[in-house]
Structure 1
Amino acid sequence: MAFGEFEEFDAVPVPRPGAAPDRLQYLLDNTPALIYCTVPSGDFKMTFVSNNAFNVLGYRPDDMLADPNFWFDHIHPDDVPRVVASLAKVFTEGRQVYEYRFRAASGDYLWMHDSLRLVRDDAGRPLEVIGALTDITDRKRMEETLQARGAEQQRLIGKLRTAHEQLLQAEKMASIGQLAAGIAHEINNPIGFVNSNMGSLQAYVDTLLRVIDSYDGTIADHPALQARMTPVRAAADLEFVRGDVTALVRESIDGLRRVKEIVQSLKEFSHVGETEWQLADLHRGLDSTLNIVANELKYKVTVIKEYGHLPLVECRASQLNQVFMNLLINAGQAIAGRGTIRIRTGAQEGWVWVEIADNGAGIAPEHLTRIFEPFFTTKPVGSGTGLGLSLSYGIVHRHGGRIEVRSDPGRGTAFTVWLPLHPPPVKEDDEVA
């Protein structure tokens, strides 16, 4: 007989109206719940099991009654401690409800809902415990399925949230690039004519100083005229003006040169409109990025450049500049007082590498495995989004490269970016990302 089929015991007649004991027996034998009674002590030896035990669990009632340890021996070992730990509540509260796994005759464990109730005699002494076992395996499977789906949905929601934040960050960086290019373009025009004017002004100042020198030479032969001009020269502090105007013009021209370099760095950093992979000089990208972050570093960091020979690399330069900027800013923030950032580059067997090392606080070992996770940050609230290294990792990955990190807490950290000279074809999913 297959498990789950009804085994015919002694025929149970359909109860006649008014036959209460027969009606009760019929209900016990045909209810979905297995009804049982146990002694209220020891191993809770079963003293009664309804005839539907075979249909629920595949056991004959007589077999269940013959084994004094049947109930405890068939509960799943992992569930026994939980049941035993609270079984005493049956005697203090009069009832208890459990959900546990019970071994059926097939050897499979079925989830059962067990409702226990204590029966006392007239003197209030525990007489027996009545239980009702109901198979809830299908319900449990549905719950597990729903929980798994819920966990999967949460995981997908997390991925969507991460992708959304990364997209916002990427859009922000693109907007910064557009702004940088626009500022560079707008500044270029006035800088051009101011620079030209400063060149002309320097020439005019040189001419005026030569004219003054010529006048001085001429009046040297006319004492009376020289005497009249001496107080005029003193009042004008001509010697100071001569030295200062030259210095002012020189410093102004030098300042304009610095502004031009910054503008050029903004243009090279942004590479607005760059959609194709191009051969780029990473040293130029590093230098332009250093100019961009100079204000962040100049008051506390000495930058040491140890550039090796680098061939041109096929890449998207603006994206790699973002990586360099993130690493440089992180290195600067890791240094509390004065410190050093060392930038080293080199090439090796079809690859190039860029190392950015600082002598700052370092990274705790327990954080090293998480630094590339989106939103993970050890910085104070409001000091970072936790997306910089995550975005950097994604950019380098899409270039077919990798980022290596080594850190010694209290002594510093070094990030090394490895890039192939010619990256593998980019998958469509990577392009979307």
Structure 2
Amino acid sequence: MHFEEFDASPAAGVRSESAPPTRLQYLIDNTPALIYCTVPSGDFKMTFVSNNAFNMLGYRPEDMLADPNFWFDHIHPDDKPRIVESLAQVFTEGQRVYEYRFRTADDRWLWVHDTLRLVRDAAGRPLEVIGALTDITDRKAMEEALTAKGIEQQQLIGKLREAHEQLLQAEKMASVGQLAAGIAHEINNPIGFVNSNMGSLQGYVGTLVDLIDAYDDAIAGHPELLARMAPVRVAADLDFVRGDVASLVSESIDGLRRVKEIVQALREFSHVGETEWQFADLHRGLDSTLNIVANELKYKVTVVKEYGKLPLVECRASQLNQVFMNLIVNAGQAIAERGILHIRTGVQGSWVWVEFADTGAGIAPEHLTRIFEPFFTTKPVGSGTGLGLSLSYGIIHRHGGRIDVRSQPGEGTAFTVWLPQRPPRRGAGDI
């Protein structure tokens, strides 16, 4: 790349007061950019500086020309390595553009935009480097303000998204509570009389069996009656029916009991009508939650409960139950075939803790720092929203607690929920 040669001597910028300025000199001295030239080697010693350097930087051009290291010595230490490393590219590309901080005469750091262009002589040899320095401090300040504003807006958007998800979760829990109340109202009554009828039926079956035994005793001394009843007994398979009917009735009663337990567990899980902070039994919440998710665990997960002695904890029980459910379901999904989930509880000082330790696949180290991020999930598409742990983290945080996690890939994961027995003072807007 070749450029036309021009007079780059120091006298062009540093002139005597008696010499009338040329039109070119006048334009250079009054341009918004500081124009300078340097030698194309070594420390890039300045050979020309326009007179507007004093207005921009506070230095006299002659002082800048007198110091061979002036340019490098006044670049911010954090910016200098980046410039030094790439400065040689001026000779291959012909031009480089930098933005860096330059120290003024009053010890301020000025952001400048610097365009460097290489000038070659007619033979193609590097002749000098021309620089155009523009003050961009105000622009940088605006960019930083916009960046900070953008970060603030992103944080606000994140908070709004989290609040939205929490609201959806609260609405979902309210719907579950209403569903539980409806189930209790609609099913408990028929379950009640069916259960009562089954109790009566169990008594009637016992009476009928006793009656058959009495008939058997009565005809025992009458061979002709025994012979007549024998085919009837065989056709009715009476011996089998006598044994099976008692089992059927007993299993039916047990099934009704199970239905009642499920409905009660659903009510306790959602805590219908309980919207205020109150003292709750965490073990009761764990048990009701285990009842709700029993079907998801029963084929592959053995639950081992190692409960300590816990005091009542001031909390919103339905929200804690949602956390317990998320952690239990995650443990079940982490176990591919057969495994164990240990649920342990205990007290440490004024804190209570609940640990969920599974023998599942574990979490990769690079994912451990992201598992509580909204929408982050390692599950296949369609298998999870990535909100369970994020919402759980938010619930525990609002209770003044924390969630610790440790994991070993291939061996399992343990989540420990820490809760204060009495949460910190809450504001009126806490939910």
Describe how 1:264-279 pairs up with structure 2 within 5 A: 264-279=264-279
Say if 1:421 and 1:235 are closer, same or farther in 2 by CA, change over 3 A.
Answer: same
Alignment-derived partner of residue 75 in structure 2 = 75
Residue 10 (str. 1) matches residue 17 (str. 2): yes
Moved more, 235-244 or 38-47: 38-47
Alignment of 1:53 with 2:60, yes or no, is: no
SS at structure 2 position matched to 1:273: coil
The equivalent of 1:103 in structure 2 is 103
Instruction: Please give the alpha-carbon distance, in whole angstroms, between the structure 2 residues aligned to 1:78 and 1:424.
Output: 44
Q: Which moved more, 1:232-241 or 1:385-394?
A: 385-394
**Residue of structure 2 in register with 1:238 after alignment:** 238
* Whole-angstrom distance in 1 between the partners of 2:151 and 2:127: 46
SS at match of 1:356: strand
Counterpart of 2:296 in structure 1: which amino acid?
E
- Against the structure 1 CA distance between its residues 51 and 286, is the aligned structure 2 distance closer, same or farther, given a 3 Å change threshold? closer
Question: What is residue 255 of structure 2 aligned with on the other side?
Answer: 255
Between 1:343-352 and 1:140-149, the stretch displaced more is 343-352
3-state DSSP of counterpart to 1:43: coil
Q: What letter matches 1:317 in structure 2? A: A
Residue 282 (structure 1) aligns with: 282
CA apart distance, 1:325: 2.0
Quick one: structure 1 residues 68 and 276, their matched pair in 2 at CA, closer, same or farther if it must change by over 3 Å? closer
Alpha-carbon distance between aligned partners in 1 of 2:418 and 2:64, rounded to the nearest angstrom:
70
Q: Closer, same or farther in 2 for the Cα pair 1:413/1:92, shift >3 Å?
A: closer
Deviation of 1:361 (Å): 4.0
Structure 1 distance, partners of 2:152, 2:191, is 57
The match for 2:29 is: 29
The one-letter code sitting in structure 1 at the alignment partner of 2:340 is T
Report the equivalent of 2:169.
169
**Contact 1:35-1:133 within 8 A present in 2 as well:** yes
- For residue 216 of structure 1, what is the amino acid of its counterpart? D
* Amino acid across the alignment from 1:428: A
2:143 matched to 1:135?
A: no
Aligned twin of 1:182: 182
SS in 1 for 2:59: coil
- Give, in angstroms, the shift of residue 257 of structure 1: 1.3
Letter in 1 for 2:282: L
Q: Does 147-156 or 63-72 show the bigger shift?
A: 63-72
Alignment partner, residue 6 of structure 2: none
Q: Is the 8 A contact 1:356 1:414 kept in 2?
A: yes
The Cα offsets for residues 297-342 of structure 1, whole Å up to 9 and x where unpaired, read as: 2122222333344444433322222222223223333333333333
CA contact (8 A) 1:166 1:387 kept: no
1:223 equivalent in alignment to 2:223: yes
Q: Given the superposition, is the C-alpha separation of residues 35 and 426 from structure 1 closer, same or farther in structure 2, using an over 3 Å criterion?
A: closer
Change (3 A) 1:40 1:407: closer
Bigger shift: residues 73-82 or 226-235: 73-82
Q: Which residue of 1 aligns with 2:156?
A: 156
Cross-structure match for 2:329: 329
Deviation at 1:11, TM superposition (A): 6.3
Residue 406 (structure 1) shift: 4.8
1:84-99 matches, within 5 Å, as 84-99=84-99
Q: Which 5+ residue runs of structure 2 have no aligned equivalent?
A: 1-13
Q: Secondary structure at the match of 2:290?
A: helix
CA distance in 2, matches of 1:212, 1:353: 59
Alignment of 1:398 with 2:405, yes or no, is no
- Structure 1 unaligned regions, length at least 5: 1-6, 14-20
SS at match of 1:428: coil
Q: Give TM-score scaled by structure 2 length.
A: 0.84
TM-score, normalization by structure 1: 0.84
Q: Is residue 12–residue 26 contact of structure 1 (8 Å, CA) maintained in 2?
A: no
Tell me the CA shift for residue 143 of structure 1.
1.6
Displacement, 1:402?
A: 4.2
Q: 1:143 to 1:273 in 2, by over 3 A?
A: same
Contact 1:96 1:117 in 2 (8 A): yes
Change (3 A) 1:302 1:134: closer
- From the superposition, tell whether residues 134 and 175 of structure 1 become closer, same or farther in structure 2 (CA, over 3 Å): same
Q: Which digits, 9 at most, give the CA deviation of each residue in 1:359-404, with x for residues without a partner?
A: 4444555655554444444444443333333333333343444444
In the alignment, which residue of structure 1 is the partner of 2:5? Answer: none
Change (3 A) 1:292 1:110: same
Aligned residue type for 1:179: L
Q: Which amino acid aligns with 1:27?
A: L
User: Alpha-carbon deviation of 1:281?
Assistant: 3.0
Measured after TM superposition, the shift of residue 294 of structure 1 is 1.0
Is the 1:184–1:266 Cα contact (8 Å) retained in structure 2?
no
| Structure 1 residues 101 and 12, CA gap change in structure 2 (3 angstroms) | farther
State the Cα distance separating 1:291 from its structure 2 match: 1.0
Identity %: 81
Task: Specify the SS of the correspondent of 1:274.
Answer: coil
Distance in structure 2 (CA, Å) of the matches to 1:43 and 1:175:
74
Q: Structure 1 residue 230: deviation in Å? A: 1.8
- 156-165 or 123-132: bigger deviation: 123-132
1:318 corresponds in structure 2 to 318
Q: 1:121 to 1:330 in 2, by over 3 A?
A: closer
Query: How far has the Cα of 1:274 moved from its partner?
Result: 0.7
Q: Deviations along 1:56-80, whole A, 9 cap, x unmatched?
A: 2222222222233333333333333
- What amino acid does structure 2 have at the position aligned with 1:386? G
State the partner residue of 2:7.
Answer: none
Which residue of structure 2 aligns with residue 16 of structure 1? none
Label 1:269 to 1:81 Cα distance change in 2 as closer, same or farther (>3 A).
Answer: closer
Cα distance between partner residues in 2 of 1:122 and 1:347: 86
Deviations 1:92-132 (A, max 9, x none): 44444333322322232322222333444444444433332
Contact 1:304 1:343 in 2 (8 A): yes
Give the aligned length.
418
The answer to which of 168-177 and 361-370 deviates more is 361-370
Q: Which residue of structure 2 lines up, in the alignment, with residue 114 of structure 1? A: 114
- Residues 341-380 of structure 1 correspond to what in structure 2 (within 5 A)? 341-347=341-347, 351-363=351-363, 368=368, 370-380=370-380
Question: What is the CA-CA distance between 1:292 and the residue it aligns to?
Answer: 0.9
Answering whether residue 305 of structure 2 is matched by residue 305 of structure 1, we say yes
Partner SS for 1:101? strand
Distance 1:157 1:245 in 2: 64
Provide the C-alpha distance between the structure 1 equivalents of 2:56 and 2:380, rounded to a whole number of angstroms: 60
Deviates more, 1:211-220 or 1:296-305: 211-220
